[in-house]
Structure 1
Amino acid sequence: MPIQLFVPTFRVDECLSEIRECLEKGWTGLGFKTVALEEAWCKYTGLPHAHFLSSATVGLHLAIRILKSEYGWQDGDEVISTPLTFVSTNHAIAYENLHVTFADVDEYLCLDPKDVERKITAKTRAIVYVGLGGNTGRWSEIVEIARKHNLKLILDAAHMAGTRLNGEIPGKEADAVVYSFQAVKNLPTADSGMICFRDAAHDERARKLCWLGINKDTYARTSGKGAYKWKYDVEEVGYKYHGNSIMAGIGLVQLKYLDQDNSYRRQLAAWYDTAFKGHEDRVLPVPVAPGCESSRHLYVIEVAARDELLMALNDCEIYPGVHYRDNTEYRMYGYDAATCPNARRLSESILSLPMHLRLGHADVKQVTEVVLKYVKPIN
């Protein structure tokens, strides 16, 4: 039977019960379930605000849009980001006519604080930090750099649902934290996300921007006493970015099992670690940072002749992935090509092995045996 990289697991009956309630009430859009999930997410994470969105990508755009306008950033100002990420991280910066300055990554595949500090200029306004695979990397050092240089800080936590650092959900130090609940993430829906601003005023503005700039969403206009409050103002040009109650209902179910599911992912990772122990001349698993209890969205290894190994695995009906291609290889970000040599090297040598709840020990054993059979020595 083929072994896929990602296969989401849903508690189908519980999810259908949540969806049924939405259908029976006749309220499937922004409303009672989105509010419930926002409250549950704040309780779970300890973050002060949470707004449910249609995707993490729109959350990143909102974070950049709001911080740019609130703090008077100009077109062409710089935001430091990673080249080793899904392209939406950096597109969100480009959407607002800001310049993406790429800093290199470290052994955790996260931003290298030393290179971040080297890349800061008089035009730098913010840092976007990606916790790749659920790893926290050197997050605390990045926080200190942001404070030292008075830079805004956004945590792209698309892979980090449930990650903890020294026992705490990271991100309280950030100006905004953005999570993904896309179909194959650790807390899967069909597609949705969450943005968590530190500042209440930013959270309030995000809610308006998500609903086309309208100052009262439909749910707010119907939840009070009296007739439907049809009259509202449109305070600025906004977007249709908010989430809906169908996705939120699924999210409420998935959240109940998030820590349990992540614990099993860490067990899968431990099985991989054990199998690869003693084979460091051919397979180098990407380490988890000290103090990090990773969500383990990914299990990444560094190998030689990566593409050959990938094809050999495919021939055995094992389907890994690559997270990610160095973004400076894309035409639009090619101006920074060769400025992040570690990211470029890793982009050509990393491989993400299957990591999902339907895998068992026998599956991990099969994957690792095939990897060790075909992988070449690292020079």
Structure 2
Amino acid sequence: MVDMKKIKVAEPCVDEKEVDAVKEVLLSGRYASGPKVQEFEEKFAEYIGVKYAVAVNSGTAALHLSLASINLEPGEEVIVPAMTFFATASAVIHQGGIPVFCDVDNNYCMDPRDLKKRITAKTKAIIPVHLYGYAANMRDILRIAKEHDLKVIEDCAQGIGTEIDSRKVGQFGDCGAFSFFATKNMTTGEGGIITTDNEEIAKHARVLRSHGMTNRNNHEFIGYNYRMGEINAAIGIIQLEKLPEMNRKRIENSEYLIENLKDVDWLVIQKHPDNVVHSYFWCPVFVNEEKIGMTTKELREHLLEKGIETRHRYNEPLYKQKALSKKTICKHFCPNKTIDYDAEFLPNADNYSGKMISLPNHPKLKKEDLNYIIQVIKQIV
């Protein structure tokens, strides 16, 4: 029997290799961005299959610099999915742009059919999100972007290792933005990275991440302190080496849970085509509250009582967040523009939000843990 309250929903996979890598940096006396960062960038670019990678200190910074590097101007619009982490929209606002929300499809990613309806003369870019580790429909999104001459920034924060037709996400758009937060498929503690084949985007991002400096004394742009440090990069180098095996195990765990829970009538399991490799940042399931006869919150509380943690994010579409209310956003960020999301309604985003949970699927789980999760869920009537 599994000990109660021992099955965590996420857990970093680190050992003495990361400890030794950090120790090496500490003893070197070189802590700011340097050779470890450069090595990590080169290896990550090779892993994704792009020419350039620019390491930064968070996934949010990667999104912000990506928008700055495609020259998003104040007042220009960027289309983002309504169901994702807040940074996808807030990065647009910090760059002076206006987020325009798009509905999601049955796999919880940007719906290309709704995307077409959101394009206006002010639209500059699209940010598809590879939510939960599943790949957005890049074929249709890229086709629409080409038809309207729009930039595409892939939000790959949850998609490290996700593939479409044997190509990793982060190489399809003008650039990709990744996160290495502690719960992600690999971590640097905190950190992010931009991937691109565009030399100008890479150059611009490198300058902007370090106060807009082109050398020690000259500031060509108003930049930011978004640099990744040597300690974070050292961890990242080791984690990247481990990533294929960590992802293999994460996928194996997720598919085992899905196979054994597919007949539970109150759970809706995500389906995906054979040409997509799902990296399963989450093992996402949709809770049919009517069939189970309890709320998603009550279900999570029941599972926690049985010792099973779950993830539960995006309880409402982004356009319902208080920070994006007309009173707040127009006062603090866009005083000369009229932005009003109060009447916004996107049916899929509204339906899925608050009813998605993730079951534990991290690489440290044992088969007995997975069997216990399955047993507890199947006992719920």
TM-score, normalised via structure 2 length: 0.89
1:43 and 2:28 aligned: no
Instruction: Name the structure 1 match of 2:378.
Output: 372
Instruction: Name the structure 2 match of 1:270.
Output: 255
CA offset digits 1:134-177 (Å, max 9, x no partner): 11131211111111111100000001111111111133231110
Q: CA deviation at 1:290?
A: 4.1
1:66 and 2:51 aligned: no
Q: CA deviation at 1:28?
A: 1.5
- Aligned amino acid, residue 313 of structure 1: L
Distance in 2, Cα, partners of 1:97 & 1:371? 46
Distance in 2, Cα, partners of 1:300 & 1:306? 13
Structure 1 segments, 4+ long, off by >4 Å, are none
Alignment coverage as a number of residue pairs: 355
| Equivalent in 201, 219, 226 of residue 241 of structure 1 | 226
Q: CA deviation at 1:369?
A: 2.3
- Aligned amino acid, residue 279 of structure 2: S
- Aligned amino acid, residue 247 of structure 2: N
Distance in 2, Cα, partners of 1:308 & 1:22? 46
SS of the equivalent of 1:68 reads: coil
* C-alpha contact 1:83 1:103 (8 A) present in aligned 2: yes
Distance in 2, Cα, partners of 1:319 & 1:173? 34
Unaligned runs of 5+ in 2: 290-294, 326-339
* C-alpha contact 1:84 1:323 (8 A) present in aligned 2: no
- Aligned amino acid, residue 331 of structure 1: K
Instruction: Name the structure 2 match of 1:6.
Output: 10
Between 45-54 and 366-375, report the one with greater CA deviation. 366-375
* C-alpha contact 1:110 1:130 (8 A) present in aligned 2: yes
| Equivalent in 289, 313, 317 of residue 307 of structure 2 | 317
CA offset digits 1:326-352 (Å, max 9, x no partner): 212202335435421101110132111
Distance in 2, Cα, partners of 1:113 & 1:135? 15
SS of the equivalent of 1:41 reads: helix
Instruction: Name the structure 2 match of 1:224.
Output: none
| Equivalent in 235, 244, 268 of residue 284 of structure 1 | 268
Distance in 2, Cα, partners of 1:247 & 1:124? 36
Instruction: Name the structure 2 match of 1:227.
Output: none
SS of the equivalent of 1:194 reads: strand
Distance in 1, Cα, partners of 2:260 & 2:227? 44
* C-alpha contact 1:309 1:371 (8 A) present in aligned 2: no
Sequence identity percentage: 29
Distance in 1, Cα, partners of 2:213 & 2:344? 44
TM-score, normalised via structure 1 length: 0.90
SS of the equivalent of 2:140 reads: helix
1:308 and 2:311 aligned: no
1:197 and 2:192 aligned: no
Unaligned runs of 5+ in 1: 217-230
RMSD between aligned alpha carbons? 1.5
